[in-house]
Amino acid sequence: MRIVFLGAPGSGKGTQAQRLTADFSMVQLSTGDLLREAVRAGTPLGLQAKKRMDAGELVSDDIVLALIREKLGSPELRGGFILDGFPRNVSQAQALEPVLAETGQRIDAVVLIDVDLDILMKRLTGRRTCSVTGKLLNIHFSPQAEIDACLQAGGELLQRADDNEQTIGNRLRVYREQTEPLVQHYQRAGQLRVVDGEGTADEVYARLVNALGLRAK
Ligand code: ADP
């Protein structure tokens, strides 16, 4: 299956995409992860992207499209993919169509993971990654035992560079102004499925699998 995930920053797209790829033969394509990789590698593209990411603004369409185009041609996507964080505005959605057509592919479903604004804020300000296990944690929501497990393994709780309050405010504004119009765009195309993104990750996952018409594993 080929899926697009829509949802505000903090709506759980990355978490849910990781679960789907673990249970079904799909690959997660996260433009945020691809960009962070480019930043870490210190490529010219990465350096250019970093400034915009740290400010909570979108990276230019050209850069993101180049990353996506390169990935969409790859044979490892035969089992399907989840686009997580792309497209993020109407012009990216329009640019995606010919790229897919070139490789004889089409999107089967667009899923909006719907979460209230105040919950998004708590999720984003509390988000951490364990430096040892790579596990995503939240200082407001994760069970103490999971946080302790990371610390006892000698791990640190790392915060993403763009998870500070000012940048988060910007990312949510950018979402409202640039990404939310895609909800209507895909609704009109008859492709949109809405999943309630509140509750535990397990609850959301069960709704998601159901909305996609997949069989739970
Ligand atoms: P989140 O959705 O939680 O904000 P992501 O990891 O998806 O986080 O993205 C982090 C940052 O990477 C964004 O704020 C933006 O600067 C950049 N980015 C990711 N995807 C795109 C995209 N499709 N177009 C432009 N910029 C992007």
Write phi, then psi, for 114 (nearest 5 degrees). -100, 120
Question: Looking at the 3D structure of the chain, how many domains does it have?
Answer: 1
**What is the best residue among 35, 51, 83, 123 to mutate for testing ligand 1's pocket, by most ligand atoms within 8 Å of CB?**
35
41 occurs within a structural domain? no
164 occurs within a structural domain? yes
CATH number, position 99: 3.40.50.300
33 occurs within a structural domain? no
State the chain's maximal CA–CA distance in angstroms: 50
Residue 196 structural domain: 2-26+79-211
DSSP one-letter string for 7-19 = --TTSSHHHHHHH
* Start-to-end C-alpha separation, the chain: 16
Distance 33 CA to ligand 1 centre (A): 8
61 occurs within a structural domain? no
67 occurs within a structural domain? no
58 lines ligand 1 (CB under 6 A): yes
125 close to 92: Cβ distance less than 8 angstroms: no
Distance CA 17, CA 195 (A): 13
Percentage, residues of the chain above pLDDT 70: 100
What would the pLDDT profile of 163-191 be if each residue is shown by its tens digit? 998 999 999 999 999 999 999 999 999 99
| Residue 36, token pair as written in the block | 């962070």
Distance CA 188, CA 190 (A): 5
H-run or E-run covering 79: none
109 occurs within a structural domain? yes
**What is the best residue among 16, 48, 54, 59 to mutate for testing ligand 1's pocket, by most ligand atoms within 8 Å of CB?**
59
Distance 169 CA to ligand 1 centre (A): 14
6 lines ligand 1 (CB under 6 A): no
Determine the average pLDDT of the residues in 54-65. 95
200 occurs within a structural domain? yes
Determine the average pLDDT of the residues in 23-50. 94
Q: Pick the atom of ligand 1 nearest to 55's CA.
A: 16
Please report the pLDDT score of residue 6 as a whole number: 98
Residue 202, pLDDT above cutoff 90: yes
127 close to 163: Cβ distance less than 8 angstroms: yes
- Residue nearest (by alpha carbon) to ligand 1 atom 5: 32
Q: Which residue type, as a one-letter code, is found at position 154? A: G
Q: Pick the atom of ligand 1 nearest to 52's CA.
A: 16
Distance CA 148, CA 103 (A): 46
Q: How confident is the model at residue 69 (pLDDT cuts 50, 70, 90)?
A: very high
38 occurs within a structural domain? no
Please, which residues bridge with residue 3 across strands? Answer: 82, 109
- Residue nearest (by alpha carbon) to ligand 1 atom 16: 53
Q: What is the pTM of this model?
A: 0.88
- Positions marked active-site: 13, 88, 127, 160, 171
Q: How confident is the model at residue 73 (pLDDT cuts 50, 70, 90)?
A: confident
What would the pLDDT profile of 116-147 be if each residue is shown by its tens digit? 988 999 999 999 999 999 998 999 999 999 99
9 lines ligand 1 (CB under 6 A): yes
Please, which residues bridge with residue 10 across strands? Answer: none
Distance 47 CA to ligand 1 centre (A): 15
